[in-house]
Structure 1
């Protein structure tokens, strides 16, 4: 029979000190959030000194260089990291979308269509004339145009006002037969012939008024505006091709330089009550500075490991992405997996392929028939290319699955459907209706 008693056990656990909690929090901050946090801390700590980053170039993060053929060698310099680029113009944004979503063999034609847009964002030249200029089959050019019409802002690359509005309604899942009839009779709408419109659409007056309100909410000239305004993305890392390798820089443009007020620190009388309080502030300031240095080191270390693993992406784009997990990066960098996760979250890197989130480089692996692991992002890129290249024969999910399997991917139909939906590609039945309409 067991007798109740006291049992002593020893166990190990991590004590979450304020300094440790602060260091963990700093890992997750974006540049803007970190800058705001530093300003707030400085207001309560008299021993912290903040200086605008632009006034102290000698304190800027030094860039690091490494090469494909010598991944373990780093050299450093003292130049200022590049400033973030201003928000892109509509044309620059469309060029980036074309480079990311259109197969390289069709990008010349896509740029030609972009150059043919009028100020409203519509094409004023017939498809036959454009196809002749490009030496391209009309069906292939039309298929490419349909792909471009899904770019933001929706409604670009249309031949007419009706098609421009229809594209925007289709995205909202509001292009029903009655709405299509209304678009087919915009001349009656312009002449305010409400009775004839109701007869054509087979609607009551209230229903017609609702449809007219939806039409008024659309943008008839999407070429005159930028996509919905959003704060510009400030990358945390900047990577550039440099000789046979890469040049990695920590971007600190928004971050102030943080230091300890050594003059005030030297005057502290540790025997007085006020001096003891100031010593506490000095300890907090030093802990913050160490945490910032740790954040900087972790960002560069993880960025370097990602670049070495995904080197082909920086040359060839999304189709060259390789499978990668945070655990793999943690093992390569001797950092904890949770640290990698916190660093990667909400961070961006400015690359030759554009500014992209660090999470882009992490994806699950699908194994091809020859045993080669393929990145899910790369497969999605290939799926986009197949849909963009389809002619009059619209590819169903089954057909797309078969084509991908023939290329060596061990992928199932449900995965293809999930990827297609995630990429915002309409079902084959919807794409067929769109093709018939066009």
Structure 2
């Protein structure tokens, strides 16, 4: 028979102290956000002294060469769902048109023209100056500009209002000699000199009114629908070739340095109210400095593990990405998986293959019939490359699947369609129409 009584149990729970909350918050900050946070803290804590940011990246504590791991070490497929791709903006649609309409070897110049547009969509710099800046022939750059002017929205990349309106009329097949004459005399239109306009265009009043209605329906500032280009990303980590491997460094260029005011701290005796307040400030300052040191070490530790696993990407590019999960990095680094997630969120690394988000290196795995695994990101990158190079021979999802399978990727048509939609790539029928209209 059971007798009522007391039962003692032991349990463990994580107490979220202010110091722990602060350390977790620092892990999630981007460089810009962290720099702003440190400035705000230093304004309210008299024990902290703010110094300018470093001009050179901070090297990893040890100089290491990173090589490929044992290929059999990380082969576990992940069922973690991928994040949905954001809806494409007007600028994204324009970039897609440029990739379809401009040869790959000329796309760098085309995107330079895109970045040179003002807020209205006009090109404020002469083609000759831009050509000299890019080191290309001015006639070739002008030919690229002429093509770009007739993409959607038509009239972008124009050098004048007349050219902008002419491009819009040309894509509508309405730029006849009379309309061109009207565009050549926009000064008369501004002065509402209808009589001279009719004489110049050799039109009666009704025809002129119809043309004026067409002009009014055009957009003189088509660039207002395009969001401005995103500011350049400041990487948190930098990886560069080092002998036969790679060297990882922490980028602290934007981060101000902070330190304790030793002179003021030496005056704390704890006997007065003001001294006790300073003692509290000293504790907060010390905790912040420790949290910053912990953030640096954690970022370097996680970055080192990622670089070691993805060394093939650094040498050969996105198609060499290997499957990787945050759980695997957590096991390697002995950090919690939630800590790994906070560290890689909104963080970037400058690599020989460009500046990329750390999340790029984490990808689901597709397992082929022979048991090997392939990164979903690698397949998506190859899919983008095939579409960008398809030219007039637009590839269907079936054709893309066959090409990817021929290259050794184990993938089915439904997965190709899912990846294509996630990458914002239109269906083959839409791409064919786009090429015809371009």
Name the TM-score, length of structure 2 as normaliser: 0.69
User: 3-state DSSP class of the match of 2:270?
Assistant: coil
Structure 1's unaligned 5+ residue stretches are 72-96, 125-129, 131-154, 172-178, 221-225
- Alpha-carbon deviation of 1:10? 3.7
Structure 2's unaligned 5+ residue stretches are 70-94, 115-124, 132-136, 157-167, 183-200
Quick one: structure 1 residues 360 and 212, their matched pair in 2 at CA, closer, same or farther if it must change by over 3 Å? same
Is the 2:319–2:378 contact (alpha carbons within 8 Å) kept by the matching residues of 1? yes
Which residue of the partner structure matches residue 314 of structure 2? 314
User: 3-state DSSP class of the match of 1:319?
Assistant: helix
User: 3-state DSSP class of the match of 1:267?
Assistant: coil
Quick one: structure 1 residues 112 and 180, their matched pair in 2 at CA, closer, same or farther if it must change by over 3 Å? closer
Provide the C-alpha distance between the structure 1 equivalents of 2:10 and 2:379, rounded to a whole number of angstroms: 50
- Alpha-carbon deviation of 1:252? 0.8
2:148 is the alignment partner of 1:166: no
2:279 is the alignment partner of 1:290: no
1:217 to 193, 217, 221: 221
Q: Deviations along 1:41-78, whole A, 9 cap, x unmatched? A: 111111112111348x8xx733453224599xxxxxxx
Quick one: structure 1 residues 68 and 268, their matched pair in 2 at CA, closer, same or farther if it must change by over 3 Å? closer
Provide the C-alpha distance between the structure 2 equivalents of 1:180 and 1:68, rounded to a whole number of angstroms: 57
Which residue of the partner structure matches residue 386 of structure 1? 386
Quick one: structure 1 residues 199 and 26, their matched pair in 2 at CA, closer, same or farther if it must change by over 3 Å? same
Q: Which has the larger radius of gyration?
A: 2
Q: Deviations along 1:360-419, whole A, 9 cap, x unmatched? A: 111111122322211111101111222233354321112212332343433232321222
2:408 is the alignment partner of 1:423: no
Aligned residues: 355
Is the 2:67–2:311 contact (alpha carbons within 8 Å) kept by the matching residues of 1? no
- Alpha-carbon deviation of 1:182? 5.2
2:56 is the alignment partner of 1:62: no
Quick one: structure 1 residues 160 and 45, their matched pair in 2 at CA, closer, same or farther if it must change by over 3 Å? closer
Is the 1:30–1:347 contact (alpha carbons within 8 Å) kept by the matching residues of 2? yes
Of structures 1 and 2, the one scoring higher in RCO (CA 8 A, sep 6+) is 2
> Any runs of at least 4 consecutive aligned residues in structure 1 with deviations exceeding 4 A, and if so which?
1-9, 106-121, 155-159, 179-182, 192-200, 208-211
Q: Deviations along 1:197-226, whole A, 9 cap, x unmatched? A: 9989xxx95xx578513xx33359xxxxx9
Provide the C-alpha distance between the structure 1 equivalents of 2:126 and 2:430, rounded to a whole number of angstroms: 29
Is the 2:66–2:307 contact (alpha carbons within 8 Å) kept by the matching residues of 1? no
Provide the C-alpha distance between the structure 1 equivalents of 2:33 and 2:287, rounded to a whole number of angstroms: 19
The aligned runs of 1:386-425 (5 Å cut-off) are: 386-425=386-425
- Alpha-carbon deviation of 1:166? 3.0
User: 3-state DSSP class of the match of 2:383?
Assistant: helix
Quick one: structure 1 residues 391 and 15, their matched pair in 2 at CA, closer, same or farther if it must change by over 3 Å? same
Provide the C-alpha distance between the structure 2 equivalents of 1:36 and 1:165, rounded to a whole number of angstroms: 43
Provide the C-alpha distance between the structure 1 equivalents of 2:247 and 2:8, rounded to a whole number of angstroms: 55
Which residue of the partner structure matches residue 91 of structure 1? none
The aligned runs of 1:188-337 (5 Å cut-off) are: 189-192=179-182, 211-213=217-219, 216-218=220-222, 228-337=228-337
Quick one: structure 1 residues 242 and 156, their matched pair in 2 at CA, closer, same or farther if it must change by over 3 Å? farther
User: 3-state DSSP class of the match of 2:232?
Assistant: coil
Is the 1:326–1:340 contact (alpha carbons within 8 Å) kept by the matching residues of 2? yes
Moved more, 379-388 or 293-302: 379-388
- Alpha-carbon deviation of 1:276? 2.1
Provide the C-alpha distance between the structure 2 equivalents of 1:414 and 1:70, rounded to a whole number of angstroms: 32
Provide the C-alpha distance between the structure 2 equivalents of 1:288 and 1:251, rounded to a whole number of angstroms: 19
Which residue of the partner structure matches residue 29 of structure 1? 29
Is the 1:238–1:251 contact (alpha carbons within 8 Å) kept by the matching residues of 2? yes
- Alpha-carbon deviation of 1:336? 0.8
User: 3-state DSSP class of the match of 2:14?
Assistant: coil
The aligned runs of 1:117-136 (5 Å cut-off) are: none
Moved more, 261-270 or 288-297: 261-270
